[in-house]
Amino acid sequence: MAADRTTPPVAVVTGANRGIGYEVVRQLADRGHHVVLGSRDLDRGRAAAARIDPGGERVTAVQLDVSDEASVSAMADRVTRELGRVSVVVNNAAILYDTWAQARSADLGEVQRALDTNLFGAWRVTQALLPLLRRGPHPRVVMVSSEGGSLQSMSGGTPAYSVSKAALNALTRLLAGELRRDRVLVNAICPGWVATDMGGRGGRPVTEGAAGVVWAATLPDDGPTGGFFRDGKPVPW
Ligand SMILES: NC(=O)c1ccc[n+]([C@@H]2O[C@H](COP(=O)([O-])OP(=O)(O)OC[C@H]3O[C@@H](n4cnc5c(N)ncnc54)[C@H](OP(=O)(O)O)[C@@H]3O)[C@@H](O)[C@H]2O)c1
């Protein structure tokens, strides 16, 4: 992971071997970031990184299972040791769009699994990288959420996913408030319905969904914090 220690800014993206996370890595690397591509399977992560950056200068694959405390600590230790800085954390990894389930009969083990990745995963990764973020000049945290977590539009169905994203939105508000004095901008982003393995066919292109995430990752210092956005525009909580 040898890299220039003064520039460029470093971004860490979770769940980035495919889907929206992969495209966020590609767009951030294009904008001049050194991107740490988190993947729970390191071989898949390395293959993804090589597709974006065959020279291996702008993208580094790192093993990262956000549901595993030891994996998150190892990632943070490695980034601290080898890069020494982080400007952007994109908490993108998520599971269990449980279209087959209902709250009244949901398997709570499944709900717990969703929370462990979609909520606690983002929480763990953010806590682990906070010391590095705080040191940097323009720190940004992006929670890749979903309108499925909007209380206003919730009316039954996808219980594990919806509750985990509503909780992620609450975490966004808490962190934004607590980290405002450290100049860390923390926002939740809905990428819209995107044609990925999770989104299925018919959604918008992944480039468009990822662009709204990259917008939040590259906000100016006077940009918003504690908000919920899609395509740069507010979405109701
Ligand atoms: N697609 C949509 O329409 C849509 C709409 C609204 C919100 N979103 C949100 O956008 C984000 C990305 O979704 P996507 O459509 O790109 O999903 P996806 O195609 O299913 O990709 C999910 C990614 O997350 C990774 N992941 C899952 N569990 C993980 C864990 N414990 N640790 C690390 N990585 C893990 C997966 O890794 P593996 O390859 O190892 O499984 C994969 O790289 C998610 O937060 C999702 O909720 C998507």
Mean pLDDT in order along the chain per 10 residues (237 residues)? 63 98 98 98 98 96 98 98 97 97 98 98 98 94 98 96 98 98 97 96 97 98 98 97
Degrees to nearest 5, angle at CA 87 with 144 and 176: 55
Q: Is residue 109 part of a domain?
A: yes
Q: How many domains does the chain have?
A: 1
Taking CB atoms and a 6 Å cutoff, what residues make up the pocket around ligand 1?
A: 14-15, 17-21, 40-41, 64-67, 92-95, 117, 121, 144, 146, 190-191, 193-194, 196-199, 203
Q: Is residue 5 part of a domain?
A: no
Position in ligand 1 atom list of the atom nearest CA 68: 31
Domain range enclosing 220: 10-234
| pLDDT in the model for residue 7 | 81
Does some domain include residue 63?
yes
Q: In what order do the strands lie in the sheet with 185-189?
A: 59-63, 34-39, 10-13, 88-91, 140-144, 185-189, 228-230, 233-234
What separation in Å is there between the alpha carbon of 91 and the centre of ligand 1?
10
pLDDT at residue 202, rounded to an integer: 96
Q: Whose CA is nearest to atom 1 of ligand 1?
A: 199
The pLDDT, as a whole number, for residue 6 is 56
For 237, what's the count of Cα atoms within 13 Å in the CB-facing half-sphere?
12
Residue 170 domain flag: yes
- The amino acid at residue 96 is L
**CATH of residue 43:** 3.40.50.720
Note whether residue 3 is domain-resident. Answer: no
For residue 177, tell me if it sits in a domain. Answer: yes
